[in-house]
Chains A and B, each alone.
Chain A
Amino acid sequence: MKDTVRSDLDLDLKTELFSKLILILRFHCDISKVKDMNMLLQLLLCLAWSFEASATSASVVSMTMDQRTVNNRPFIGILTQPTSSKYGDDYILSNYVKYLESAGARVVPIRGKERPEYYRYMFKRINGVLFPGGGANTTQGSYFESGKAMYELALKANDEGDYFPIWGTCLGLELLTVLTAKKWLLGNTDSENLTLPLTLAKGYKHSQIFRDMPDNVLNYLSTEPVTQNNHQFSMLVKDFETTSELNEFYQILSTNHGRDNLEFVSLMEAYHYPIYASQWHPEKNVFKWSTGRAINHSFHAIKVTQYMANFFVSEARKSSHHFDSADQGAREMIENDLRVFVPDHTFSEEYFFNYTKRE
């Protein structure tokens, strides 16, 4: 009995020391040099404790790390992209907004054609960014430029221990391959309006996306047509494998074949960064109701969508960026922007943005 009490005490002490260690580390990250010898001493003491601590404290470490980072009010940015609509210069489909909101995130638009300060300003206040699908240019233009700005800020932040996740869907995956490889490597495939199960790739099990996936969701994803493809271009597996800039950066988690039997990357994640991308559309199963589309709206398909949204929003919860006030966050939210619903068989709903609107 006494031993139990004693070890609990140890556990508490270690937890406290770890919290201290993290505080000190954070502090020194900010001022970037050690000014106080006393603090350095504490730091070393904590480190010594941490090395002494064995199996039991591993859980303590992860617990403390989680406590430090869980942000249960995450904001996620979605890139706007050009449109020829009369309603605005740029748009975002509301499907992507609803997708992220369903997992407990709020959404702010990341506008195109803004100055570098704007991207830096928004980056510091949001907890992740989603590159949506669409038809924008991925080698130049505003979608490419704003994606590039967020991607570069994310790499730098993650390198400095400031967790910041990115998710690319469809065109978003294509943009990520361009940004990482610094060249356009996509191939033409016959893969529009094609709903498939994923063909899982070697090592998928140990990836961030699959590690904690419940068996039933894994089963739906790998055996039922729950992933809707809607793309003319793809990252072909053969090109991926011969491009070291890509295969050293990303792990292929699944592949698929188009109607032309060409094999393309359908799901991938970066080895050393919280960067994820799907060639298919997880958001459509739940939120896209266009009648002309082969979209699976079954309960199993909806469970897959919810898993993917939950996964990415949980990644965003690890980022502690925040707006200066609740009101400021509310003012940046996409709910403030023009939303247009088309009451016909497309059930299309879009948000529109004008470059002139910037306050």
Chain B
Amino acid sequence: MYCIKQYFGLLCLLLFTVNGLPFPNGNKWQEPTLNNRPIIGILAQDTSSALGRTYISATYVKFLEQAGARVVPIRGGQPEEYYIRMVNWTNGALIPGGVVNFATSLLGRSARLVYDAALKLNRNQDYFPIWGTCMGFQLLCYLVQGDNLLKRTDSANISWPLTFTPDFKSSRLFGQAPENIIQILSTEPVTQNEHHYSILTKVFETSKLGKFFKKLSVNRDRKGVEFISTVEGKEFPFYGVQWHPEKPNFNWNTHYNTDHGPDAVRVSQYMANFFVNEARKSSHRFPSVKLEATNLIENYNRTFSSDDTFVDIYYIDPRDT
């Protein structure tokens, strides 16, 4: 029995290879005809606000739009067919940061359904990238592991440079990055961390996560505990960052210690450009221009706080009345 368990992963890998994964020969994924009108779904998350059951922060919308994508919300609490349909109409998905219970929240369920659909699509040579930021990355880890491996760290409201791993150079995410981007990322405190929990490096190495993801960078919290800060899927176009690439150009809250300088903005643009380029490899499209236009997030109610928080939020699912 133990033996079967041991070799199960290997067996799966063998099967996947036969089926044809997105990266059959390491990184040599053949570029299909690019889709220059990509649309990316952002998963809405639970809120206690009176204005809606779920929300999406405009910072994530702007992050993707700046690189030439348009955004549709992926709503919470919908039938399973809805998620399959949305994945087949869009070119990628982003799971944003925030605070929800992975097992019981609307977002947790949406993420699981989108993740399962994306695994299936990619195994069938139908490219579908996923990006997780902060809690979105943690939620991706939860889905890969099937369990919550987070540990408490002292890592909120602080900006650091990344500590790249030896693997970063051979990665899709950073392998082709211009030198100045690597220079900025590895020496300037441009990556804002805003989390109280992390995937510790030692936990990563000894779990399914280490087999599924390649770790590209790590950081140490205020007490010196090392955690994973950037990953990419070894065999799937899935990406995770524990930090917030969208904050330098789009989050103006004066209570946060965010670097808004030109270098930090360049990094945000680089990360968005990379992920939207991944989405351009997907040829999914909405059945009509009308459906495309009516699904875009611009149709939803957006609420701006006219104070020093500059909070700008789309409310997606209405509260039951």
Contact = CB atoms under 8 A, between A and B. Distances in A.
Interface of A: 70, 72-73, 98, 101-104, 106, 285-287, 289, 291, 297-299, 301-303, 306, 310, 313-314, 317, 325-327, 330-331, 333, 335-336, 339, 341-345, 347, 349
Interface of B: 34, 36-37, 62, 65-68, 70, 248-250, 252, 254, 259-262, 264-266, 269, 273, 277, 280, 289-290, 293-294, 296, 298-299, 302, 304-308, 310, 312
A287 B276 CA distance: 14
21 contacts: A72-B262, A102-B249, A103-B249, A104-B248, A104-B264, A104-B265, A106-B252, A106-B310, A289-B70, A297-B37, A303-B273, A306-B269, A306-B273, A310-B266, A313-B262, A314-B262, A317-B262, A330-B308, A331-B306, A333-B306, A341-B298
Nearest to B255: A326
A154 to B, nearest CB: 22
Contacts of A345: 289-290, 293
A216 B110 CA distance: 40
Nearest to B260: A72
Q: Nearest 10 pairs between A and B by C-beta?
A: A326-B308, A102-B66, A341-B298, A335-B304, A297-B36, A72-B260, A343-B293, A104-B249, A104-B265, A302-B68
Contacts of B307: 326-327, 330
Contacts of A313: 262, 265
A98 B66 contact: yes
A80 to B, nearest CB: 18
Nearest to A299: B277
A325 B254 CA distance: 11
Contacts of B254: 326
A61 B29 CA distance: 49
Nearest to B68: A302
A297 B35 CA distance: 9
B68 A327 contact: no
Contacts of B264: 104
Contact of B265 (A103, A291, A343): A103
A72 B308 contact: no
Contacts of B62: 98, 101-102
B261 to A, nearest CB: 5
A254 B252 CA distance: 36
A326 B304 CA distance: 14
Contacts of B248: 104
A313 B269 CA distance: 14
Contacts of A286: 65-68
B247 to A, nearest CB: 11
A349 B62 CA distance: 14
A339 B58 CA distance: 14
A299 B280 contact: yes
Chain B CB count within 10 A is highest, among A287, A297, A325, for A297
B273 A302 contact: yes
Nearest to B258: A72
Contacts of B67: 286, 302
Given A73-B260, A102-B66, A310 B308 contact: no
A327 B308 contact: yes
Given A72-B260, A103-B265, 10 more contacts: A72-B262, A102-B66, A104-B249, A104-B264, A106-B310, A302-B68, A326-B308, A330-B307, A345-B289, A349-B298
A303 B294 CA distance: 28
Contacts of A326: 254, 307-308, 310
Nearest to B302: A339
A299 B274 CA distance: 10
A330 B277 contact: no
A310 B305 contact: no
A298 B36 contact: yes
B234 to A, nearest CB: 25
Contacts of B261: 70, 72
A332 to B, nearest CB: 9
B250 A101 contact: yes
Contacts of B298: 341, 343, 349
A349 B297 CA distance: 12
